[in-house]
Amino acid sequence: MRSRILAVCCLAVLLLPVFTGLAAAFETVLYNRMPVAAGQALIAVAPRHSRAAAVRALSADGFRVIRASTPDGQVLSPASWLHDAKAGERFLVVEFDPARPIDEALAALAETPGIVAAAPNQVFYPAFVPNDPFYQSHQSYLREMYLEKAWDLSRGDQVKVAVVDTGYILEGLTDGVINLLDGYDFADNDDNVSDTIGHGTQVANVIAHATNNGIGAAGVAPGARILPCKVFRDGEEGALESDILAAVDWAVQQGAQVINMSLGGGGYDSFSAETMSDAVAANVVVVAASGNEGAGSVSYPAAYEGVIAVGSCDTHAIGDFPTRSSFSNYGDALDFVAPGNAIIGETDYGQGIGFYVASGTSLASPMFAGAAALLIDVAGDGYTVEGIRKVFQQTANRDPDAGWDDELGWGEINVQAAMEAISGPIPNDPPIVHIIAKPLAGAAPLTVTFTGGASDSDGSIASYLWSFSSGETYYLLQFDHTFTKPGEYTVYLTASDDSGESASDHVVITVTPGDDNADSKSDRGCGVAGGAGWADLAIMPALLAVWSLAMGRRRRRAAEKAGIS
């Protein structure tokens, strides 16, 4: 009786997991800079190891099997996998305390008897390419700055960017900033930042247009929080320096991490120099436009020490070196260039709210401000203004044989390269490969139709390669292959993407011996596989002649043995 009770207890322990078929909601953590599910891992059990023993060993170390996935795509409950010895597994999913460090859990799994492989349960996200209509048709300049991969890592969430400009249109936009903060009007000394000119609205939208919403255009840092600082009075084309400096000081006090000033004019004075210096000393990235006169000197406030002066470069093919826009000011104080020619954004320049295309260093500057927000988000609390500047400087797109020059500064910002300099390489998702083979089994000769495909979330498929365990290779997506001999054949499909990542899937084809007896009873004729068609009938006389010759030789040999000549 005792042994029976113990057996029942052990069975109860092994069946404790409740199978839902789907993983419960999970928390995402970073492991080696990759997003993974906290408290989960994938494992493989040695083929001849006792499954029950493996489950007991896992349980003793705080792990619980929650599901099994088979090579043919089935998802099994722990109980089904445990008690069906014929059910193979590609991997098991185990869960553990989410507070347990991933590396510690993987180390423990590696020491668990019977476990031959363990890995974190990675979290994959669709690669981020905005579906905003104008992104594909009018915003190739964002791809020039290599933003797509950068968006996989950050969208500037929670980074506060002050825009010192004409304010922001508060009603009527269809694709405006999502995270718009309460700003201030320094020109009229009130809290009404409504923009009647339109310039500040487009500048802010370059930084943080609502993105991936199926409407309009994309912003550089769509998650950034925009703090409008209005310094132009309604209908006025100029802003007072006193208002601009008050706005900069206020933005610093409000916790702005980036300040953008798409304005310029005047000359050097100590008041402005001190204000800009104090803002930079407070660890604020201060960015300003170099000016639109095509002159050989950079406008103020961009020319002040510590301010990052951004000029404009023309649109170009991805990977080409930039060239300065003809209107862009250049000179000793220039730091970088960014796209500023034919930039689209939603605003109202006096003809109603819509999407306007405009050019100028006023639009290059917010490109840099948005990129800085992305880097600050990735760098975290440890970022410094000098560190942000230096990373962009070291990774800018320019002729590698040239250093700084007065036309382009350090070059055009490359956001992906700058991010990778901080966080390491941004992972490239491998392709996902699919195989359909029909039929999977049959008698020789067996003709199987193979159909393959692959998808790539962050790129495109560059090549396909089929390889057979019997040695054949194919490069097609669909084809027929005939197996003439019995056996088990493993067929692999490998897909490679445009970044060099590859992935494979495979299928096993089982070919059994052909049924000769069935052939002889059929009307297919003389045991010739597949039956005799018109082409086969043409060779029948030759076959009969060979048969007759062979029978004559047999009769002669028999006569010789019997002594008959």
Residue among 132, 138, 152, 165 flagged as catalytic = 165
In 3D space, the residue among 130, 143, 184 whose CA is nearest the CA of residue 319 turns out to be 143
Q: Which residues contact 281 (CB under 8 A, 6 or more apart)?
A: none
Strands (E), 168-323: 179-180, 184-185, 225-230, 258-261, 285-289, 308-313
Residue 199 annotated in active site: yes
In order of 234, 444, 526, the CA distances from 518 in angstroms are 95, 13, 12
Which residue in 77, 138, 154, 199 is the catalytic one?
199
Q: Among this protein's residues, is 455 annotated catalytic?
A: no
**CA Rg value for the chain:** 35
Reply yes or no on whether 165 is catalytic.
yes
Please list, residue by residue across 414-441, b when 16 or more beta carbons sit within 10 angstroms of its beta carbon and e when fewer do: bbbbbbbbbbeebbbbbbebebebeeee
Q: Which residues pair with 437 in a beta bridge?
A: 450
The angle subtended at Cα 250 by Cα 247 and Cα 256, nearest 5°, is: 100
| Element housing 441 (H / E) | strand 441-443
Alpha-carbon separation of residue 247 from 63, 185, 198, 290, 509 (angstroms): 56, 9, 19, 20, 72
Q: Exactly one of 312, 359, 362, 496 is catalytic; which is it?
A: 362
Q: Between β-strands 336-339 and 308-313, what pairing exists: parallel, antiparallel or unpaired? A: parallel
d(CA 387, CA 422): 10
**Among 103, 112, 100, residue whose Cα is nearest residue 43:** 112
HSE at residue 475, side-chain half, CA atoms within 13 A, is 4
Query: What span, in angstroms and rounded, lies between the C-alpha atoms of 3 and 24?
Result: 37
- Per the CB < 8 A criterion, the answer to whether 393 and 465 are in contact is no
Point out the residues that are catalytic. 165, 199, 362
